[in-house]
C-alpha cells in the first residue's frame, strides 16, 4: 500500500508485513510452547498481549494458546508437529500502519482505550480501534505500529487523519 | 440590580458583547451569561414549562431550574442551557425559550388561569377519550403549549470528539476539598486529574471575596497545583456519570469561550476517564423554600445572591429580604449589606445563635426571628413580601428575596452505581452511602460544612486515594498536610476567618464559621400560609398541591410521585426540588424521611449533547468501511459502489447500462453468453486446522465432510441449535488436517464467532484451530461458457482442463510469489471458477484476468447481476435463509440424509417443523405481459380476498433475459405450492397485483450440464 497521510505532527506510513500464527492444542500446551520457544529464538511472552523481541522479530501472545510472529518481510513457514499445534500464514491479511509524531498520544486517546503513558516501548496491546480489532505496538517515545485488517486499513487511515487534524 | 465598580473576579478591562433576545448587551471577561444578564438589568430570564409564568435567575450553578436559554443560531443552535453555567463569550447569541410573542408578554401565560384543570396527571384523565386515538389528536396541541427549547434542524457544523483518559486519582470538584485532595494525592506521587464543571476552580471559595483569606488560599493552591507536572486541572468539564471500573463520564466544553470555534477545533469532548481511584468532592446545593409565588423573578437562592455579588460584582437587589432557617444565609445578608443593600433577615427559627445576631447588628442587618415568608408579592417581579410572625402578618417592600432552606449534599455521582444515599438526622440531609472500592468522598458532599474540616477531609481522601491506587508506593503516602504557613499557599491564615486559624488549621471553627449551618425542618408547616402557587419543582411547574394530589390519588412511592407529577424529570433533574418533594411525601404519609427514600440517581448529572456522544462517528466515520483489494479498480472503472454491511461492493458498472436495471441485465446476459468476472473477496473465509478438523466440520454441517478427499470442495449448510438454517457455503479440503471454509458475506463474523463458541464450550476436547482469513485472500469468480479459456490464458502454467480441475475441484499454485487457489464452483449456474490469491496481489490478479479475458468477451459484473444469476439457478441466499426457514423449507433436507449428531439436528425434528402447511421454496414466473414481480409481494389464491398474511411471499426476483420473463423465488404454503398453480402476487406498497405461476425454483439448466464438463 502507498504511504498514508503525513500531516504536521503525525505521520502515517503503511506497509505490508509478515505474520505467522502458531496455535497449540489444549492437551499439549506445555510441549507446544517448549517446542516453539527455541525455534522463535528465545522465550515466549507469558500473558496475552505481552510481546517479546526475538532476533528483530516480534512475538505476541495473541490468545492463551496462540502466538503471532511478526516481521517486516515475508516469514518462511515453520513446521509444527501436528500433534502439538498448527501454523498459519496471516501476513497478507494485515497491514502495518506506522504512526509517528508529537501528536501521537493525543490522537490515540481519541481512538483507543490505551494509556499511552503506561505502555512500555515494545509492549503490545489488542484494542478495538473504531470498532476494528487491532494490535497496537509501541515502538518509541512518539511512535507506534498498528496491525490492522487490510480491508479496514484505508478507513482507519482516514479516521486517524481526521482525528489528527483536530489536535492542536 | 447594578454592576459594582469593585468586587468580583471579572476583568473590567475586557468588555464582552453579547445579545439576549436580540438586544445588544455587554458584560466582562469572567462573567457567566447569567451574571451578565443580571448586570444588564434582565429580570425575566424565561417562562415556565407549563403555566408560562415569568421566571428569573434563581441560582448560580448547574442546579438552575429557571433561566434556560438557547444559544447560537443555525446549526449551532443548542437549547435548554442554564444561563448560570454558560461562560460569557464575544458574540454570544442567547435567546429565551417557551414564549410567544415575547418574553415579557407571553400569550400562553393564559395557561395559568386554567391551572385548576392542569394539575398533576391532568392529561391522563382529560385527554383519553372519547376514542382510544384521541390522545394522538390532543398531543399536538399540548406539545405546543408546554415545553422547553427547540432543537436546531440544520446540521451542526461543529466538531465533537471522544477521548479516553487515564489517571491514578481522579478528583471531582475543585472546591476546597477537591483542591486539598488533589494536592495530597499529587504530592504523594499520583497522577491526578482534577475535574471542575465551572470555568474557574474554587467551588464555594469563589463566593468569598477575592481579597479575603479564602481568596488568597485559593490563589496559592492553584499556583501550587499548576506547578505540578502530575496534576491536570480540567475546568469547564462536567463529570456527568460514574460507571463500572471507576470510570467517569466527562463533558469538556471548548467552544464556550467563543461563539465560533476555530475550524477543526472540537466544540465539546466526551471524556471517559479511567481512574484507579476517585475522590468525590462534589459539594452541596442550597435548598429553596416553598411559599406562595416563590417562583417570581426576584426570588433567588441566598448563596446565588452572594456569588453574584462577590464573584461577579453584581448587586442583585437594593431592598433584600433574606428568608432562611439556617445560619449560612447570614453570610449572604452580611455581604449584601456591606455592598449597600438594605437587608432584612426573616429567620423562622426561634433563637438564632447570639453571635450571629450580634454580627447582624454590627452589619446593620435587621433580623426578624420566628418570621416565616408566606408570599412574594408582585407580577413580573417581586415588589414586596408577606411574612407571618407570632404578632401577625407583616408586609415588607423588597426587590430581592434571597432564600435558604439548608443544603443538600450532591450525592448523584456517588449513587450512580447503585449505592443508596444515607440519611443523616443531625444535618437532615442525605449523604453518600457506602461507595465502591477505590472511591472516596470529602467535603460538603459528606455533610461537612466547616471549611477547616472540609479541607482536612479532602487532604485525607487524597492520601487514601493514592494509597489505594498504588499500594507499592504507600510508604510515600504518609505525606502530611502542609503546616500553616505565612506565605501564600494552603494553610494561609488570617485573623478574620475563624475557620482557617493559623495555630490550628484542622480544628473546628467557632459556630459562626461561614460554612456552618443549621438545617431546616424540610416541609414544615409553611406550605399553606398564603394563597398562591407554591412551587416545589420550578422547572417542571410542580406545586405543593400537586404532591398532595398525588398522595391523595395513591401515588405515594417517591418513584410513583416522580412519574405522576413529572417532579425531577426536567433537565435539572430536580436538583433543587427532590429533597423537598420526598420530605413532603414523608410528611403526608406520616413517615420518617429515610423511610420514604430517594428516587434512583442515574447519569447524566447534567445534560450531554448528542453531538458529544457521537463524537466523530458520523458521516463517513459513522462506521468503518471495508474495501476489497480490488476496490480501486471498481471505482476507476465506473462501478456504482454499494454499502453492504461494512463492505463497499460494486453494484453494477455504468459501462453496462445507464441505470441498474439496464446494467444488470446486460451483465448477466454477458455472463451466460461469454463470461463475467465478479469480485467475491467479501466472502467469509475461515481456516479450519487440526487433527480433529474433519470431525468438527461433521458436527457443524448437516452434511458430512470427514470423507471429503484432499483437493475437493463441498457445499455445506449449518443449522442453529434450534434447527433453523444458519448459513451456507463451501468448504475445501486443502490438506489432510486443513480445510478452507467460505461463508456468506453477511454471516462471516457470526459463523466465525459460532465456531469459536462451539470449540470453547461444547467440544473443548477437539484439537481444532479456527482462524478468520477473510482479509488474507483476494477472491474473484470467473463464470460463463468461456471461463476455462480465460483461466487458461491468464495462468498458462496451470492445467485447468476438466480432468485436472473438475467441478468442485481444487488447484493450488503461486501467483507473483503469493499463494493461489482455484476452486471450481458455481453460484451462477455457469461453469465457474473461484480464484483466491494473496490480498496484496489481488488487484493485479484481477487485472490479469480482465486482460486475458477481454478477447473472450469477459466483462465485470456487479452485485445486482450476481443476485439475478443465482435466482435463475434457484440458489438460496440471505432473503431465503432469513432466520425462520428449515432444511425442509428450503428443499435442502437431502443434504443431511440420515445423518445425525450435527448441530440443530435434535431440535430440527420438532413437530412444528413438520407441519404440512409450512412454507417451502418455490419458483414463480410472472404470467402478465408488461408487469413484473417484486420482492416482498404477498401471495394469494386468485379466488381469495387480498387480506392478511396470505399464503406466502416472494423473497427474490429478477428479470431473466434468457427466459424473457420476470421470475422469482418465494416461500409458499405447501398446500398451494403445486407447480402450475396460479397465484396473485400483491405488493401493497405500490398497490400492484400481478398474476404469477408456481414453477420449479431451478429456472435454467435443471440437470446442471452447464457447469459440468
- Is residue B290 classed exposed, middle or buried when 0-12, 13-18 and 19+ CB atoms within 10 A define those classes? buried
- Residue-wise pLDDT for B972-982, tens only, equals 999 999 999 99
Chain B residues closer than 8 Å to A25 by CB? 690, 767
What is the C-alpha separation between B890 and B725, in angstroms, rounded? 9
Q: Cite the DSSP H helix spans in B112-212.
A: 122-126, 134-145, 176-188
Q: Which residues of B touch A88 (CB under 8 A)?
A: 687, 689, 769, 771, 773
pLDDT of residue A91: 93
Distance CA B334, CA B362 (A): 9
Q: Which chain A positions have a beta carbon within 8 Å of B681's beta carbon?
A: 151
| Mutation for testing the B interface, residue in A4, A85, A155 having most B CBs under 10 Å | A155
Q: Are B652 and B663 in contact (CB under 8 A)?
A: yes
Measured in angstroms, the CA of A98 and the nearest CA of chain B are apart by 18
pLDDT digits (tens, 9 = 90+) for B399-455: 999 999 999 999 999 999 999 999 999 999 999 999 999 999 999 999 999 999 999
* DSSP conformational letter for B378: -
In angstroms, the CA B964 to CA B551 distance is 74
Task: State the average pLDDT for chain B.
Answer: 91
Mean pLDDT across B32-38: 98
Task: Identify whether the C-beta of residue B217 lies closer than 8 Å to the C-beta of residue B16.
Answer: no
Contact criterion met (CB < 8 Å) for A154 and B627 = yes
The closest of B13, B10, B55 to B33, measured between CA atoms, is B10
Q: What value, to the nearest 5°, has the Cα angle with vertex A140 and ends A137 and A146?
A: 25
Say if the Cβ atoms of A86 and B689 lie within 8 Å.
yes
Task: Compare CB distances from B624 to A88, A115, A132 and report the shortest one's residue.
Answer: A132
What is the nearest CA distance from A7 to chain B, expressed in angstroms? 14
Element (H, E) at B976: none
Stretch B712-737: mean pLDDT, rounded?
97
The DSSP code for B261 is P
Q: Who among B162, B265, B775 is closest to A151 (CB)?
A: B775
Nearest chain A residue to B165, by CA: A109
Contact (Cβ atoms closer than 8 angstroms) between residue B809 and residue B824: yes
Count CA atoms within 13 Å of residue B776 on its CB side.
23
On whether the CB atoms of residues B778 and B845 are closer than 8 A, the answer is yes
A165 CB near a chain B CB, below 8 Å? yes
Query: Which residues of B are less than 8 Å from A130 in CB distance?
Result: 617, 621, 624
Q: What is the pLDDT of residues B120-160, one digit of tens each?
A: 887 777 777 788 788 888 888 877 777 788 888 899 999 99
CA distance B325 to B522: 10
Q: Is the Cβ of A9 closer than 8 Å to some Cβ of chain B?
A: no
CB pairs under 8 A between A and B: 113
Residue B105 has pLDDT above 70, yes or no: yes
C-alpha cell read off for B704:
458430512
CB contact under 8 Å between B771 and A88, yes or no, is: yes
Q: Pull the grid cell for residue A159.
A: 479516521
What is the grid cell recorded at B821? Answer: 487457489
Which of B839, B842, B845 to mutate against chain A (most A CBs within 10 Å)? B839
Residues 6 or more apart in contact with residue B904 via CB below 8 angstroms: B702, B718, B719, B720, B721, B722, B723, B724, B726
**pLDDT for B258:** 54
Q: How far apart are CA A75 and CA A57, in angstroms?
A: 10
Residue B1000, pLDDT > 50, answer: yes
- Phi and psi based region of residue B662 (left: phi greater than 0; alpha: psi -120 to 50; beta: remaining): alpha
Q: Which residues contact B321 (CB under 8 A, 6 or more apart)?
A: B343, B344, B345, B346, B373, B385, B396, B398, B400, B401, B402
* Closest-approach residue (CA) in chain B for A132: B624
Q: First vs last Cα of chain B: how many Å apart? A: 97
pLDDT tops 90 at residue A77: no
CB contact under 8 A, A86 and B777: no
Closest among B251, B97, B205 to B605, alpha carbons compared: B251
Q: Is the pLDDT of residue B851 over 90?
A: yes
Q: A54: distance to nearest CA of chain B, Å?
A: 24
CB proximity A151 to B under 8 Å:
yes
- Cα angle value B917/B918/B923 (rounded, 5°): 105
Interchain CB contact of A97 with B (< 8 Å): no
Q: Does A149 touch chain B (CB under 8 A)?
A: yes
pLDDT in tens, B479-527: 334 432 323 222 222 222 222 222 223 233 333 333 333 333 344 434 4
Give the C-alpha separation, B316 to B737, whole Å.
84
**What is the rounded CA–CA span in Å between residue B459 and residue B455?**
6
Asked if residues A19 and A135 have their Cβ atoms less than 8 Å apart, the reply is no
Sign of CA dihedral B450, B456, B459, B462: negative
Contacts of B616 in chain A (CB under 8 A): 110, 159, 162-163, 166
Longest Cα–Cα distance of chain A, Å, equals: 55
- Write the residue in A82, A152, A166 that is nearest to B159 by C-beta: A166
Is the CB of B624 less than 8 angstroms away from the CB of A131? yes
Q: Distance between alpha carbon B458 and the CA centroid of its chain, in Å?
A: 32
Q: Please list the residues that pair with B299 across neighbouring strands.
A: B401
Nearest beta carbon to residue B621 from set A66, A132, A159: A159
**Three-state DSSP class for residue B821:** strand
Give the residue from chain B lying closest to A21, CA to CA: B771
Place of cell 493450488: B812
Asked if A83 and B165 come within 8 Å (Cβ–Cβ), the reply is no
Neighboring chain A residues of B694 at a CB cutoff of 8 Å:
none
Contact A110 B162 (CB under 8 A): yes
Beta bridge partners of residue B3, listed in sequence order: B314
Residues A9 and A2 sit within 8 Å (Cβ to Cβ): no
A81/B contact by beta carbon, under 8 A: no
Q: Taking a C-beta distance cutoff of 8 angstroms, is the pair B998, B980 a contact?
A: yes
Q: Is the pLDDT of residue B938 over 80?
A: yes
The minimum CA-CA distance between B721 and chain A, rounded to whole Å, is 25
Omega prior to B101 cis, within 30 of 0: yes
CB atoms within 10 A of CB B507: 12
DSSP letter (8 states) at residue A43: P
CA distance B717 to chain A (A): 25
Q: How many CB atoms lie within 10 A of CB B721?
A: 15
B49 in Cβ contact with B68 (< 8 Å)? no
Chain B positions in Cβ-Cβ contact with residue A158 (cut-off 8 Å): 620-621
pLDDT at B476: 39
Using a CB-CB cut-off of 8 Å, the residues of chain A touching B767 are 25-27
The grid coordinates of residue A150 equal: 487490510
**What secondary structure, in 3-state letters, does B842-876 show?**
HHHHHHHHHHHHHHHCEEECCHHHHHHHHHHHCCC
Interior CA angle at B351 toward B347 and B355, to 5°?
95
pLDDT, residue B261, reads 57
Distance of alpha carbon B914 from alpha carbon B900, whole angstroms: 17
| Among the partner residues B164, B774, B839, nearest to A113 by beta-carbon distance | B164
Nearest of B953, B979, B934, B941 to residue B885 by alpha carbon = B953
Contact A85 B769 (CB under 8 A): yes
Residue B235, pLDDT above cutoff 80: yes
Instruction: Return the CA Rg of chain A.
Output: 16
Q: A93 and B773 in contact by Cβ < 8 A?
A: yes
**A88·B774 Cβ contact <8 A:** no
Residue of B nearest to A157 (CA): B624
Least confident of A137-141, B529-533, B682-686: B529-533
Q: Which residues pair with B833 in a beta bridge?
A: B782
E strand or H helix that includes residue B699: helix B693-700
Task: Look up residue B531 and give its three cell numbers.
Answer: 394563597
Determine the pLDDT at residue A122. Answer: 84
Phi and psi dihedrals of B277, rounded to 5? -145, 155
Question: Testing the interface with A: which of B262, B645, B736, B776 to mutate, by most A Cβ within 10 A?
Answer: B776
- Residues of chain B with C-beta less than 8 angstroms from the C-beta of A27: 765, 767
pLDDT of residue B1: 66
Instruction: Give B440's Cβ-side CA count (13 Å radius).
Output: 29
A166 touches chain B (CB under 8 A): yes
- Name chain A contacts of B774, Cβ cutoff 8 Å: 93, 151
Check if the beta carbon of residue A32 is closer than 8 Å to that of residue A24: yes
pLDDT value of residue B257: 52
Report the alpha-carbon distance of residue B148 to residue B80 in Å, rounded.
7
B252, three cell numbers: 469538556
Is A155–B627 a contact, with Cβ atoms under 8 angstroms apart? yes
Q: A151 and B616 in contact by Cβ < 8 A? A: no
- Rounded to whole angstroms, the Cα distance separating B517 from B375 reads 24
Check pLDDT > 80 for residue A74. Answer: no
A158 vs B: CB within 8 A: yes
CA dihedral B678, B684, B687, B693 (to 10 degrees): -120
CB within 8 Å: B621 and A150: no
Give CA B96 to chain center in angstroms. 27
Query: Nearest-CA distance from B727 to chain A in Å?
Result: 23
What the block records as the C-alpha cell of A36 is 516453539
Alpha carbon distance A61, A48 (integer Å):
5
Dihedral sign of CA atoms B298, B303, B304, B305 in order = positive
H or E segment to which residue A69 belongs:
strand A66-71
Among the residue ranges A59-73, B383-397, B725-739, B918-932, the one predicted with the least confidence is A59-73
3-class SS letters over A150-167: HHHHHHHHHHHHHHHHCC
**Which letter, b or e, does each residue of A97-109 get, where b requires 16 or more Cβ atoms within 10 Å of its Cβ?**
bbbbbebbbbbbb
Confidence of residue B891 (pLDDT cuts 50, 70, 90): very high
For the segment B555-573, the average pLDDT, to the nearest whole number, is 93
Burial class (CB in 10 A: 0-12, 13-18, 19+), B204: buried
Amino acid at each position: 500500500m502507498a504511504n498514508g497521510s503525513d500531516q504536521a505532527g503525525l505521520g502515517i506510513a503503511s506497509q505490508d508485513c509478515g505474520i505467522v500464527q502458531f496455535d497449540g492444542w489444549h492437551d499439549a500446551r506445555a510441549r507446544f510452547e517448549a517446542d516453539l520457544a527455541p525455534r522463535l529464538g528465545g522465550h515466549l511472552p507469558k500473558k496475552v498481549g505481552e510481546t517479546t523481541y526475538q532476533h528483530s522479530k516480534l512475538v505476541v501472545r495473541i490468545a492463551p494458546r496462540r502466538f503471532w510472529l511478526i516481521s517486516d518481510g515475508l516469514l518462511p513457514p515453520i513446521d509444527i508437529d501436528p500433534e502439538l499445534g498448527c501454523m498459519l500464514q496471516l501476513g497478507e491479511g494485515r497491514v502495518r500502519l506506522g504512526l509517528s509524531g508529537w501528536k501521537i498520544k493525543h490522537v490515540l486517546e481519541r481512538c483507543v482505550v490505551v494509556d499511552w503513558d503506561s505502555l512500555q516501548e515494545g509492549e503490545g496491546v489488542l484494542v478495538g480501534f473504531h470498532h476494528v480489532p487491532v494490535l497496537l505496538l509501541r515502538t518509541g517515545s512518539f511512535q507506534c505500529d498498528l496491525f490492522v485488517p487490510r480491508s479496514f486499513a484505508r478507513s482507519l487511515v482516514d479516521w486517524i487523519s481526521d482525528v489528527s487534524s483536530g489536535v492542536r | 440590580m447594578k454592576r459594582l465598580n469593585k468586587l468580583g473576579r471579572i476583568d473590567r478591562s475586557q468588555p464582552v458583547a453579547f445579545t439576549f433576545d436580540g438586544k445588544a448587551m455587554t458584560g466582562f471577561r469572567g462573567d457567566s451569561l447569567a451574571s451578565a444578564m443580571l448586570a444588564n438589568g434582565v429580570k425575566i430570564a424565561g417562562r415556565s414549562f407549563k403555566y408560562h409564568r415569568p421566571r428569573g435567575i434563581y441560582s448560580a450553578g448547574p442546579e438552575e431550574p429557571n433561566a434556560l436559554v438557547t444559544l447560537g443560531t443555525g446549526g449551532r443552535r443548542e437549547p435548554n442551557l442554564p444561563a448560570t453555567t454558560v461562560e460569557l463569550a464575544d458574540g454570544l447569541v442567547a435567546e429565551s425559550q417557551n414564549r410567544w410573542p415575547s418574553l415579557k408578554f407571553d400569550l400562553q401565560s393564559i395557561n395559568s388561569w386554567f391551572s385548576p384543570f392542569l394539575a398533576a396527571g391532568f392529561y391522563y384523565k382529560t385527554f383519553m377519550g372519547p376514542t382510544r386515538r384521541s390522545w394522538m389528536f390532543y398531543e399536538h396541541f399540548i406539545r405546543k403549549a408546554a415545553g422547553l427549547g427547540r432543537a436546531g434542524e440544520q446540521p451542526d457544523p461543529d466538531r465533537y470528539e471522544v477521548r479516553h483518559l487515564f489517571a491514578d486519582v481522579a478528583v471531582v470538584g475543585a472546591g476546597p476539598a477537591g483542591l486539598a485532595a488533589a494536592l495530597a494525592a499529587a504530592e504523594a506521587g499520583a497522577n491526578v486529574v482534577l475535574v471542575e464543571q465551572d470555568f474557574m476552580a474554587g467551588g464555594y471559595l469563589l463566593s468569598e471575596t477575592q481579597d479575603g483569606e479564602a481568596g488568597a488560599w485559593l490563589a496559592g493552591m492553584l499556583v501550587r497545583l499548576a506547578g505540578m507536572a502530575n496534576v491536570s486541572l480540567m475546568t469547564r468539564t462536567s463529570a456527568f456519570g460514574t460507571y463500572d471500573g471507576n470510570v467517569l463520564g466527562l463533558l469538556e466544553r471548548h467552544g464556550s469561550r467563543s461563539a465560533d470555534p476555530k475550524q477543526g477545533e472540537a466544540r465539546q469532548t466526551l471524556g471517559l476517564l479511567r481512574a484507579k481511584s476517585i475522590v468525590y468532592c462534589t459539594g452541596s446545593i442550597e435548598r429553596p423554600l416553598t411559599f406562595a409565588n416563590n417562583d417570581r423573578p426576584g426570588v433567588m437562592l441566598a448563596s446565588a445572591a452572594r456569588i453574584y455579588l462577590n464573584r461577579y460584582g453584581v448587586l442583585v437587589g437594593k431592598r433584600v429580604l433574606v428568608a432562611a432557617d439556617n445560619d449560612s444565609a447570614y453570610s449572604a445578608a452580611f455581604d449584601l449589606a456591606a455592598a449597600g443593600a438594605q437587608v432584612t433577615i426573616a429567620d423562622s427559627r426561634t433563637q438564632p445563635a447570639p453571635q450571629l445576631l450580634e454580627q447582624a447588628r454590627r452589619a446593620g442587618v435587621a433580623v426578624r426571628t420566628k418570621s416565616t415568608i408566606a408570599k412574594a408579592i408582585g407580577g413580573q417581579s417581586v415588589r414586596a413580601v408577606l411574612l407571618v410572625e407570632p404578632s401577625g402578618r407583616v408586609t415588607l417592600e423588597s426587590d430581592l428575596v434571597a432564600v435558604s432552606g439548608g443544603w443538600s449534599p450532591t450525592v448523584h455521582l456517588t449513587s450512580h452505581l447503585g449505592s443508596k444515599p444515607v440519611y443523616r438526622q443531625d444535618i437532615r440531609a442525605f449523604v453518600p452511602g457506602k461507595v465502591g472500592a477505590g472511591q472516596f468522598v470529602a467535603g460538603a458532599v459528606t455533610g461537612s460544612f466547616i471549611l477547616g474540616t472540609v479541607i482536612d477531609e479532602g487532604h485525607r481522601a487524597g492520601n487514601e486515594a493514592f494509597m489505594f491506587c498504588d499500594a507499592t508506593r504507600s510508604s510515600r503516602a504518609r505525606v502530611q498536610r502542609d503546616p500553616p504557613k505565612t506565605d501564600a499557599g494552603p494553610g494561609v491564615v488570617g485573623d478574620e476567618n475563624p475557620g482557617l486559624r493559623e495555630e490550628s488549621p484542622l480544628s473546628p471553627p467557632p459556630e459562626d464559621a461561614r460554612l456552618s449551618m443549621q438545617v431546616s425542618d424540610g416541609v414544615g408547616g409553611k406550605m399553606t400560609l398564603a394563597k398562591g402557587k407554591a412551587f416545589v419543582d420550578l422547572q417542571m411547574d410542580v406545586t405543593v398541591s400537586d404532591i398532595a394530589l398525588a398522595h391523595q390519588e395513591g401515588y405515594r412511592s417517591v418513584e410513583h410521585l416522580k412519574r405522576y407529577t413529572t417532579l425531577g424529570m426536567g433537565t435539572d433533574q430536580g436538583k433543587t426540588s427532590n429533597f423537598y418533594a420526598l420530605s413532603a411525601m414523608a410528611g403526608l404519609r406520616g413517615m420518617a424521611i429515610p423511610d420514604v427514600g430517594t428516587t434512583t440517581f442515574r447519569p447524566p448529572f447534567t445534560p450531554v449533547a448528542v453531538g458529544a456522544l457521537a463524537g466523530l462517528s458520523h458521516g463517513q466515520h459513522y462506521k468503518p468501511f471495508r474495501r476489497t483489494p480490488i476496490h480501486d479498480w471498481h471505482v476507476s472503472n465506473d462501478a456504482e459502489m454499494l454499502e453492504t454491511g461494512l463492505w463497499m461492493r460494486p453494484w453494477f458498472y455504468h459501462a453496462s447500462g445507464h441505470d441498474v436495471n439496464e446494467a444488470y441485465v446486460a451483465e448477466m446476459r454477458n455472463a451466460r453468453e461469454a463470461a463475467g468476472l465478479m469480485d467475491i473477496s467479501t466472502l467469509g473465509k475461515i481456516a479450519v486446522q487440526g487433527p480433529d478438523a474433519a470431525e468438527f466440520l461433521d458436527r457443524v454441517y448437516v452434511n458430512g465432510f470427514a470423507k471429503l478427499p484432499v483437493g475437493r470442495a463441498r457445499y455445506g449448510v449449518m443449522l442453529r441449535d434450534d434447527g433453523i438454517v444458519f448459513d451456507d457455503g463451501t468448504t475445501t479440503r486443502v490438506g489432510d488436517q486443513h480445510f478452507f471454509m467460505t461463508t456468506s458475506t453477511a454471516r462471516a463474523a457470526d459463523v466465525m464467532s459460532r465456531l469459536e463458541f462451539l470449540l470453547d464450550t461444547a467440544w473443548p476436547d477437539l484439537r481444532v484451530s479456527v482462524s478468520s482469513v477473510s482479509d488474507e485472500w483476494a477472491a474473484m469468480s470467473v463464470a460463463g461458457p468461456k471461463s476455462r479459456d480465460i483461466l487458461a490464458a491468464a495462468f498458462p502454467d496451470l492445467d485447468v482442463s476438466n480432468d485436472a480441475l473438475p467441478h468442485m475441484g481444487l488447484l493450488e499454485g503461486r501467483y507473483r510469489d503469493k499463494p493461489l487457489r482455484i476452486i471450481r464452483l458455481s453460484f451462477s449456474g455457469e461453469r465457474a471458477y473461484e480464484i483466491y490469491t494473496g490480498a496484496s496481489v489481488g488487484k493485479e490478479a484481477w487485472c490479469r484476468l480482465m486482460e486475458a479475458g477481454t478477447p473472450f468477451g469477459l466483462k465485470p459484473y456487479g452485485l445486482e447481476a450476481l443476485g439475478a444469476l443465482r435466482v435463475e439457478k434457484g440458489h438460496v441466499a440471505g432473503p431465503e435463509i432469513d432466520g425462520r426457514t428449515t432444511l425442509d423449507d428450503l428443499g435442502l433436507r437431502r443434504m443431511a440424509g440420515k445423518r445425525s449428531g450435527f448441530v440443530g439436528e435434535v431440535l430440527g425434528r420438532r413437530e412444528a417443523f413438520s407441519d404440512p402447511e409450512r412454507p417451502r421454496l418455490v419458483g414463480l414466473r410472472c404470467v402478465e405481459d408488461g408487469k413484473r414481480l417484486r420482492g416482498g409481494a404477498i401471495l394469494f389464491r386468485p379466488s381469495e380476498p387480498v387480506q392478511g398474511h396470505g399464503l406466502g411471499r416472494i423473497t427474490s426476483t429478477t428479470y431473466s433475459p434468457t427466459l424473457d420473463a420476470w421470475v422469482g423465488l418465494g416461500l409458499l404454503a405447501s398446500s398451494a405450492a403445486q407447480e402450475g398453480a396460479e397465484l396473485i402476487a400483491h405488493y401493497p406498497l405500490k398497490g400492484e397485483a400481478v398474476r404469477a405461476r408456481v414453477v420449479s425454483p431451478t429456472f435454467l439448466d435443471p440437470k446442471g450440464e452447464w457447469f459440468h464438463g
